[in-house]
Structure 1
Amino acid sequence: MKAIVYDRFGAARDVLSLQEIEAPRPGSGEVTVDLVFSGINPSDVKARAGTRPGVTKPPFPQVIPHSDGAGVISAVGDGVNAERIGERVWIWNGQWRRAYGTAANQITLPQDQAVVLPDNVSFETGAILGIPGLTAAFTVFSGGDVAGKTVLIQGGAGTVGLLAVQLAKWGGAKVIATARGAGAERAREAGADAVIDYADADLAARILAANSGQPVDRIVEVEFGKNIATDTEVIAENGTICAYGSALEMEPVFPFYPLLFKAVTIEIALIYLLSESERTATIKRLTRALSEGALNCPVERVFPLADCAAAHEAVEAGNRAGAILLSTD
């Protein structure tokens, strides 16, 4: 099979190469998926660049990057129902603690990591579900239903944030999002009831005003460190702040006392490490939303497999209006 590989950290154009390697055969409990698209996330480019603290070399002699993808099951191992052959699926954790990810023609992995893709959902959307889709669904619904509640989505125009806006609205919540410029319009089109510029000097007051002066029940947070003061001010008693990022401030000052006297739950979400029960519930919720046509997953650009380095550079550049994908078939 053709695959993008690297064996050392560095700039995309320096370390990524297209090679022909032998496709692993499915073992017991495994399936082989003929991939159509591979999704590229910021975590993929950071892993290739070697920017994770304390990590000095790749964990395997040869790595095929990317954890997300979508395609069709072409072979199954022992213990897997042969009727799964021909099934349209999307992939999660394709390259998490594994050497071979989705930047290839095929991937072989445990069958539970190949989830049925509803017939009404495109392969492009399927390639976005593993990290952005599951992160959005978990951060919105980890505490249960949100019907009748107010959910604040900080960063409502990003790949995760835009999906979180749609999911929260589908779940029956009042949705307030922060975004600016063209991103603000995207968040509105996704269903946000109010969109506020995240750089507003009176951001907390504006958020409260958008909720008729009342605090919000739940916050989906992309920049925990930078926004914790605002979040503390606007969160309701017994509310939850579910954070999946804090890139701009990795060592935040934590206002414990004000949060204590609101009995706020702080939840840190790393989608790679969901428990089995959490992942099952999140996949079920996400699948239902997809089946009901509740999600639009925008794609910024699709690159051919051979141009993987350019695709990584597009992710690193940021300022995107959608996901970056590789065409892998």
Structure 2
Amino acid sequence: MSEPRTMGAMVYGPGPDIREVRRPVPEPADGEVRVRIGVGGINPADWRNRRRYTGDEPVVPLQDGAGVVDAVGPGVDATRVGERVWLWETARQRSGGCAQKLVVVPADRAVPLPADVGLDVGAGLGVPAVTAHRCLTVGEGGPERLAPKALDGRTVLVAGGAGAVGHAAIQLARWSGATVIATVSTADKAALAEAAGAHHVVRYRDGDAGEVVRGLAPDGVDLVVELAPDQNTELDLRVLAPGGTIAVYAGGAAAFPVDLGSSLGANARWQFVSIFTMAARAKEAAIAAVTEAVAAGVLGVGPEAGLPVHHYPLADLGRAFEAVEQGAVGKVLVDVGPELG
């Protein structure tokens, strides 16, 4: 009897230490595909999950990645073998993410990647782009799916425009026709937000950001994409248009105060966003829109696109996690199988 095939993977648990292991090569079941990973993408949720994990079974992290389909299960078109794809939510309630040579996922979580789009772009989609899409589509009377002209006439404020979600929000909002204002802390980050396509960039440490934003949008902003509500609540309510929405996808504090008078007076909508629990319909709309945007040349990476990339080999996954946890500006990627290109 032949020995079972194995592959390299990086895991944590029990405990936060990251180590290299050998795992059996997985086989796709009904409706699944197996993908040979080229590049994995790390998100803040990955290191947070690592810190709070208390289970006994080792976990292969990284929700996002990109690679090539190398096998399909029953019910999946065999012509998908050899297809370049980007992956989303690979490790959610599953045994393994993209920090391994091969991963098996439901076929709809492996999304075709155009031939002229690099794997670095694909590995940086997933959590950031789907989250950004949801943030941009929760406003009163807004579209369920982004597309050119879908946000015509609307003004969007993106807090933290140099981060991965902020970058995706700027690019998707501009692609959809919105006027985009981004807030950042430094000149370097301002340059990145401008490269991403923001029409206006406000350095909030340089003066009264609320006054500047109001000067740019006298009638107020229709939608705020917010990552730090504990710090920005007062600013958000000050610049929000009547009936506007504050879409919160992250936060540094467990709780934050909301001024009821200002919120009621503006008919403000506070909407919290998590890719992991959003409705299937919202995910489907996001995947479709992101796919269209990528094909149109939107959501690029690199300094020229407003999102620097930082590469680490798979063996240095621990250092890559530390870079994200310490606030690396841009996107941290892990080279799992760089021979795929």
In 1, distance between residues paired with 2:328 and 2:62? 20
Q: How many residues get paired?
A: 316
Indicate if the aligned counterparts of 2:121 and 2:299 stay in contact, CA closer than 8 A.
no
Instruction: Work out the CA distance in 2 between the residues paired with 1:203 and 1:301.
Output: 30
1:284 to 285, 288, 303: 288
| Aligned-partner Cα distance in 1 for 2:287–2:178 | 20
Distance 1:6 1:246 in 2: 25
Q: Residue 162 of structure 1 aligns with which residue?
A: 167
What is the aligned counterpart of 1:80 among 69, 76, 80?
76
Contact 2:301 2:309 in 1 (8 A): no
- Matched residue, 2:31: 29
Quote the offset at 1:201 in angstroms: 4.5
Q: Which residue in the other structure is 1:194 paired with?
A: 200
Cα deviation for residue 200 of structure 1 reads: 4.3
User: What is the SS of the residue equivalent to 1:86?
Assistant: coil
Counting only pairs closer than 5 Å after superposition, residues 21-170 of structure 1 correspond to structure 2 as: 21-50=23-52, 57-58=54-55, 61-142=57-138, 143-144=142-143, 145-170=150-175
Match of 1:309 in 2: 318
Deviations 1:288-327 (A, max 9, x none): 111111222234221111111111111122142x211111
| Residue 257 (structure 1) shift | 2.4
The separation in 1 between residues aligned to 2:40 and 2:29, in whole angstroms, is 22
Stretches of structure 1 that go unaligned for 5 or more consecutive residues are: none
2:321 corresponds to 1:323: no
Q: 2:177 pairs with 172, 181, 205, which one?
A: 172
Question: Alpha-carbon deviation of 1:199?
Answer: 2.7
The structural deviation recorded for 1:108 is 0.5
1:240 equivalent in structure 2: 245
Whole-angstrom distance in 2 between the partners of 1:189 and 1:100: 35
Alignment check: 8 A CA contact 1:118 1:287 kept: no
Q: CA RMSD in A?
A: 1.4
Any idea what the Cα deviations from partners look like across 1:251-275, whole Å, max 9, x if unmatched? 1111122212221111111012221
- 2:316 is matched by which residue type in structure 1? D
Unaligned runs of 5+ in 2: 1-6, 144-149, 303-307
| Structure 2 residue aligned with 1:296 | 300
Q: Is the 8 A contact 2:66 2:120 kept in 1?
A: yes
**Superposition deviation, residue 166 in structure 1:** 1.4
Contact 1:118/1:291 (<8 A) preserved: yes
- For the residue of structure 1 that corresponds to 2:67, the secondary structure is strand
Taking the aligned partners of 1:113 and 1:256, their CA distance within structure 2 comes to 40
Contact 2:167 2:193 in 1 (8 A): yes
